[in-house]
Amino acid sequence: MASWLASILGVVVVGVIVELLTQNRRMGNFIRSIYGFIVLLVIVSPLPKLLKADWWTSRAEEMVNAEMLENLAQSSCQTQITQTLRLKGYDHALVTVVDHVIYVNLGTTVDAATLAELQKDLGEEVVII
């Protein structure tokens, strides 16, 4: 921003000098037109950087990183539950995560006491099928 303002100031100073040197000359109108075009270019020069959409790229990267971290957390939770079930003898249990809800299919029927113990070990957020 400071460099942009400095460049505008520099062009204005050069323009004043050019204006003083070309007041009564035939080429004065042509030079003033070129000068006006240069001033316009200097003033508009930051627009491509602003419109380049770097803010969108960084926001998209943040969203992807957040999604990746969420997937990693779900995968970690899924792995932890699978290991807990294997320690308890349920080697073929299927653990899935859907919309932050963890579903466990034991692949076998269990009695109510075993189900209550598993539910206590795995946590309340786990749904045992």
pLDDT digits (tens, 9 = 90+) for 48-103: 776 765 655 666 677 777 777 787 778 888 888 888 888 888 888 888 888 778 88
Provide the pLDDT for residue 100. Answer: 76
pLDDT score of 114 more than 80: yes
Provide the pLDDT for residue 54. Answer: 60
Q: What percent of the chain is modeled with pLDDT above 90? A: 0
pLDDT score of 121 more than 70: yes
Would you say the C-alpha torsion 112, 115, 116, 117 has a positive or negative sign? positive
**Inter-helix orientation angle 28-44/2-21, to 10°:** 180
Work out the pLDDT band at 118, boundaries 50, 70, 90: confident
Q: Measure the CA–CA gap between 21 and 32, rounded to whole angstroms.
A: 11
Give the number of other CB atoms < 10 A from CB of residue 37: 10
| pTM for this entry | 0.48
In eight-state DSSP terms, residue 23 is: T
- Say if CB 129 and CB 105 are below 8 A apart: yes
